[in-house]
Structure 1
Amino acid sequence: MPDHKLTLISHALCPFVQRAAIVLLEKGVPFERIDVDLKAKPDWFLAISPTGKVPLLKVARPDGPDVVLFESVAICEYLDETQSSPLLLPADPITRSQHRAWIEYGSGVLADAWQFLNAKDVPTAQSKGAAFRGHLSRLEQLQGFGPYFGGATFGLVDAVFAPIFRYFDVLPDAVGAPLFEGLPKMSGWRQALKIRPSVAQAVGIDYGDRFKRYLFENGAILH
């Protein structure tokens, strides 16, 4: 394993940050975490973030200048390739490519979940809720769940979906129950991810309260 100090530049509620945090925790890698206020981005952050977004991973190298990586999937794949086992992407090229495709699919699922949760009116909530459930129904048809995406082994696809499912674990049951009803694989997957130590530890203990306050302050009808 390379002798690199890792710093995760973060925001307490960002699901993309959670992906990287989960991978770091799965790998058992020591890292520093620095939260930034995305409503008042500091100059030092804007100077190193090409997109003005989190996560960033700063890699301090003993033999050269620090390197800053951006985009959550790129960060996660770097960590998977350079840090200790377990590997979170499959070794087989075909299976690995399939998992990468489902990771990309997960970004679309996240977008619909986010718009559902942040809806300010009933028609938008219904439309985005139906779209989110459609994604879950498509995943329900896949073979191999048990209890994680690839079977018995936790992987990078799981790290991508865990922050999505977390939303529904901190909100009242009435919000998520209709979306997961009749989808036993998705419900089982959600529960397996909820109790995974890396998933639980990827956010602060006040995450649920902060997220609900965020929805209230932004006028979401589902808070």
Structure 2
Amino acid sequence: MTLHLMSHALCPYVQRAAISMLEKGVSFERTDIDLAKKPEWFLAISPLGKTPVLLDNQQAIFESTAILEYLEDTQSPPLHSKAAITRAQHRGWIEFGSSILNDIAGLYNAQTEDAFDQKTAALEAKFAQLERQLGEGAFFAGNAFTLVDTVFAPIFRYFDTFDEIADFGILLGKEKVAAWRKELAARPSVKQAVSANYPSLLRVFLLNRNSHLSQLMKRQLS
């Protein structure tokens, strides 16, 4: 075993790397980092102080997209298309997924109802774009599981918890997105990319944001 993933229990970017390695059947070690008290040895291999970082024979690769590409270069089977144009397009949709994660962070950090509603609207618009993009088949690119799927599986995982709080209408009426979400949730690699206590850890994290969403959760509990 030469691969060692520096992880955080809730990080969706870590999940991308874990899903990729699980899909490829690669053995790897995983170490969770306390990002509130980052050890010096971690900062030495993570210039941005973020997870994930992948060590291969003690050589560090940081940033999830770089890690995904490295795994494509070194591990089989490939999760990228053989066609250069498709690979380039999929890289664009991976960035689109990252922009959705930024909006999700904005949603759970929004301090006011107005700010929350603005992020809800932004997310709804992006998932409407995805609904128009999706074709036939179980996954983003039809019946082939690709790197785009490794990116969106952690995104949909947030909605498992959001749906328990309230229906914010973000995914409402998007049948192709709903089918894709269901297919990804059932994928063994997606299930194994987080610990069994991920849902409870995420709820505690969201409750502690002191945000509009936190207030909705507290009212639900009272």
Q: Report TM bin, short chain.
A: over 0.9
The structural deviation recorded for 1:93 is: 0.7
Structure 1 unaligned spans of 5+: 61-65
* Paired position in structure 2 for 1:172: 163
Query: 2: distance between equivalents of 1:7 and 1:132?
Result: 33
Take 2:137 and 2:101, find their aligned partners in 1: how far apart are those partners? Answer: 22
* Corresponding residue to 2:96 among 105, 115, 121: 105
The residue aligned with 2:49 is 52
Q: 2:175 aligns with which of 171, 184, 187?
A: 184
Secondary structure at the aligned position of 2:122 is classed as helix
CA-CA distance at 1:191 after TM superposition: 0.8
Deviates more, 1:32-41 or 1:212-221: 212-221
Report what 2:113 is aligned to: 122
- Runs of at least 4 residues off by over 4 Å: none
Question: TM-score, length-normalised on structure 1?
Answer: 0.92
Q: 1:218 aligns with which of 209, 217, 220?
A: 209
Number of residue-to-residue matches in the alignment = 214
Counterpart mapping for 1:194-213 below 5 A: 194-213=185-204
Contact 1:145/1:189 (<8 A) preserved: no
**Greater fraction of residues in helix:** 2
Please say if residues 61 and 67 of structure 2, whose CA atoms lie closer than 8 Å, have aligned partners that are also in contact.
yes
- Provide the rounded CA distance (Å) in 1 between the counterparts of 2:168 and 2:187: 21
What residue identity is the alignment partner of 1:68? A
* Maintained 8 Å contact 2:108/2:209: no
Cα distance in structure 1, aligned partners of 2:12 and 2:53: 13
- Answering whether residue 65 of structure 2 is matched by residue 68 of structure 1, we say no
Deviation at 1:146, TM superposition (A): 1.8
Please report how far the alpha carbon of residue 88 of structure 1 lies from its aligned counterpart in structure 2 after TM superposition: 0.8
Spell out, residue by residue over 1:70-116, the C-alpha distance to the aligned partner (whole angstroms, 9 max, x if none). Answer: 0101101111221121x111000111111111111111111112211
1:129-140 aligned within 5 A:
129-140=120-131
The offset of 1:10, in angstroms, is: 0.6
Note the residue ranges of structure 2 that are not aligned, 5 or more in a row.
218-222
1:7 is the counterpart of 2:4: yes
Using structure 2 for the length normalisation, give the TM-score.
0.92
Q: CA RMSD in A?
A: 1.4
For residue 147 of structure 2, what is the aligned residue in structure 1? 156
Counterpart in 1 of 2:76? 84
Q: Is the 8 A contact 1:193 1:199 kept in 2?
A: yes
Q: Does the aligned pair in 2 maintain the 1:140–1:185 contact within 8 Å?
A: yes
- Partners of 2:164 and 2:44 in 1: CA distance: 42
Structure 2 counterpart of 1:83, one-letter code: Q
Please report how far the alpha carbon of residue 149 of structure 1 lies from its aligned counterpart in structure 2 after TM superposition: 0.3
Report percent identity of matched pairs: 48
Is residue 2:26 matched to residue 1:35? Answer: no
